[in-house]
Amino acid sequence: MSETEQIPEAVAAVLEALNNTDSNGTEQALNATAKFVASPEGTALAYGSLVFMALLPIYFGALRSVTCSKSKNASDMPETITSRDAARFPIIASCTLFGLYLFFKVFSQEYINMLLSIYFFGLGVLALSHIMSPLMSRIFPASFPNKQFQLLFTQGSEEAKEEIVNYEFDTKNLLCLIISSVVGVWYLLKKHWIANNLFGLAFALNGVELLHLNNVSTGCILLGGLFVYDVFWVFGTNVMVTVAKSFEAPIKLVFPQDLLERGLDASNFAMLGLGDIVIPGIFIALLLRFDVSLKKQSKTYFYSSFLAYIFGLGLTIFVMHTFKHAQPALLYLVPACIGFPCLVALVKGELTELFSYEETVPEDTEAKEDDETEKKDQ
């Protein structure tokens, strides 16, 4: 992908939305009653569950990103983030965040969240279907009558005919879509925290799998820029916390601290923004692909960054719990996720190889870029 190409609008919109709440990290009880005091057991269960849920999309998303990078299927091809995209993203995210803040101040919060719920319902159904599809292929036997379908929309006629949508799917994909739609309706009607988490995990896993950094330097630029973004909007203003409290969408993982007392109807939540999962996650996935490129049996850089993420997230929770204040999780995650692998590379004498690693862009993507450039020139 060329340096001048922008991140596709849909991908950028989702990433911006993820980052609108990521700085709250594990801020607890945003929508809980002030009188309730969580028990130590309930708090430990909530924090432990958040950490576990955060690790799932990073681990499995990174593994799937290796397969995704080799895919020749257009629908499974990753979106590559370049250094220019990475440098520009914190500015775009800041503008989007402040825009949402103004929207919530001027317009009715109820109507804004209704529109956002419908938008994320569609995205959530597709994201959940995408991660369920490989599982369905393993569950159903080879003898299962799996029919092929194609959804095709074109415009024009004869030689001037142009494809707008060309989507191929089968019976298993259709079943995944139905199950995901049921979860989506459950979320729309009840806003239940379990339905929220199912969509949130799907968003995070797809993000880690399909968003690829082209090299380690780009990852450092992206994480460094969002480090500053996170710290400024949390400690410098009340914008981030205000938007997080107002924004009702499955872009954060939540777990009740009063689950032991109130069961599934619990309402005192600890939360973790998806940006705190996806942003470090795509960097960790890049390091796994670097490990694979070395053609060694070990996955040193992947595991070192994965452990660094656990350390950084644990430190975030500790500081937040100690000072009883929302923490920008990237303040702790970025130094850990960049520092640990670089230290390992320095010890192993592979620092040059680490920063010189460059991912190749799939041929189909290059052809698409050339076509878009020609259209612009015309």
Q: Which two tokens stand for residue 148?
A: 């092929």
The catalytic residue among 85, 258, 276, 291 is 276
The answer to whether the beta carbons of residues 90 and 228 sit under 8 Å apart is: yes
**Rounded CA gap, 7 and 235, in Å?**
28
What length does the chain have?
Answer: 378
Angle, CA of 280, 100 and 326, to the nearest 5°: 50
Residues 6+ apart with CB under 8 A from 139: none
Q: Which two tokens stand for residue 30?
A: 């945003």
Backbone torsions φ then ψ of 39, nearest 5 degrees: -75, 155
The verdict on whether 370 is a catalytic residue reads no
> How many whole angstroms from its chain centre is CA 127?
11
Backbone torsions φ then ψ of 266, nearest 5 degrees: -60, 155
The verdict on whether 377 is a catalytic residue reads no
Decide: helix, strand or coil at residue 154.
strand
Q: According to DSSP H, which parts of 294-329 are helical?
A: 300-323
The catalytic residue among 85, 230, 258, 291 is 230
* Residues noted as catalytic: 230, 276
